[in-house]
Amino acid sequence: MSHLFNIKSVVLIALIILLFGLMVGQMIHVLLVATRKENRNPRGAVAYEALLLAHLLLACATVCSAYANHGALLFRMKMISFPIEPMMWVNAIALVLGLVLAFAYRRPIMTLELIVLATCTPPFIEAADINSWFIPVLDASFFLFRVSSSLTMDIKHRSSAITQLSIGEAVKKLPEGILCINRSGAIVLMNESMRSSLQALGLGTNLSEGSLIWAELAKRAAAGNHVRDTLLPEGIRLTVSPNETRLFIHDEVTLHHTLCERIMAIDVTVEEDLNERLHLANTELEESNRKLEQTLAQLEEAAAEEASLVMKTRVHDSIGQRMTILHHYLESDIDNPEITRSVSRLMHNITNDLARTSPEGKDELAALASAFALAGTNIHIEGTLPENPSSANALVGIIREAATNALKHGSAKNVYVRIAAKPSETNLAIFDDGTGASSTIIDGCGMPQMRRAAEVLGGTFEVNALTPFTISATIPHQGASS
């Protein structure tokens, strides 16, 4: 390594300054690695980094000795000096340990620094001979990168590492309030959230007797000064401010090997707001259900009334018609066995007619004409009933009631029925040759029924008392009224 004496002084001075700085940086790195708690193999890593520190120390001493140019490379101390070349075997020890760590941790990235360490071992230095001057330059260049990157990683690791201080800061800034009280009642831990919550409730935060805090919180909840203040199985719910509600939970925890009473204050404002909205929605839903039940009951009652009215109408139509025919038959003194049998069948079929749910309009109209013919009243029909069953049955009902009234009150011999179909409606006109009616018509049971039969389907019903007595009805076709 005597060829180092041929290097210019300026270069040697630059190498001395650089290697000394790298040695200081590596020393800091060794201390940081040694103080890490999460290393998988701290002894091996620290030993390797310490050997690298020794390597930089030898490199710096070598360059200093070359700059002093005492004729030999010596590791000089105040009183004694040592030859440097035998001490270079320390680099071989670092090389072997580096190889072990590289294989153990599977880190091929260490290959370059192991090559640099190999160039600093005595066999390689001897083999380099006159070219050995480049070894300190290569060594300083590589370790400039290695030490600077290691320190950068140390700083990042230090800033992100979990320490006692970082845990304390995290607890201090937690949104949940935390309060710990030891067995003697002294407060040993209180974060800012708990402090602000207790202050908002009017409780002191510098209490020496912290064991009374939970009892005071329970007293506030029992007083019920706010709607949300209450005692719950899981804790105490209190309104801390108009916009904040907290749930205080009480349990025990071990802190620094001491059993302590712990009180936590959890912000449940959002949950309580949602619960109140849900309660309001449930209340509105219950009210809607109650109104719906009332509406259904009213509909059932209306349906029952409708069914009763329909049955009354059918009883009136069937019995009224037959009683009128029977009355006129008895007064006519007709002695015809065939007619007598027909009248008898007509009277016996009352029950069957009432039991029918949906009589056919055309068949009903034909039977109606035949029945009135037995009493000597002919029904003359012009036109045809509409295809819609509801419209046809409504018109048949009006014709039956009108014919019954014509026979009963007007002693009519002929009833004329005219059915005129139009694109959007069917018009019905009924008149007779009876005695007519007075100018004032009093609605009996029949008139309201005829009017209702037309109006239920969206139609109209009119009565003309002039001679001849005329009934007019209009039934819109299905879908036309909408």
Express each pLDDT in 428-473 by its tens digit: 999 988 887 665 666 665 788 888 888 988 999 998 877 788 899 9
For the residues of 442-464, what is the DSSP string, one character each?
---SHHHHHHHHHHHTT-EEEEE
Burial of 76 (0-12, 13-18, 19+ CB in 10 A): middle
More confident residue, 229 or 81: 229
Express each pLDDT in 304-347 by its tens digit: 776 666 666 666 666 666 666 666 666 666 666 766 666 666 66
User: 54 near 75, Cβ under 8 Å?
Assistant: no
Architecture of domain 299-476: 2-Layer Sandwich (3.30)
The predicted model gives 91-107 an average pLDDT of 89
Cβ-proximal residues to 388 (8 Å cutoff; 6+ apart), any chain:
477, 478
Percent of the chain surpassing pLDDT 70? 77
pLDDT band at 156 (very low <50, low <70, confident <90, very high): confident
More confident residue, 140 or 5: 140
Q: What is the DSSP letter of 211?
A: G
Mean pLDDT of the chain: 81
Express each pLDDT in 170-204 by its tens digit: 777 788 889 888 888 888 888 888 888 888 888 86
Per CATH, which fold does 167-267 belong to?
Answer: Beta-Lactamase (3.30.450)
pLDDT band at 104 (very low <50, low <70, confident <90, very high): confident
**Residue 102 corresponds to which amino acid?**
A
The predicted model gives 235-253 an average pLDDT of 91
Q: What are the domain boundaries of the chain?
A: 2-160, 167-267, 299-476
How far lies 179's CA from each of 197, 250, 265, in Å?
11, 10, 9
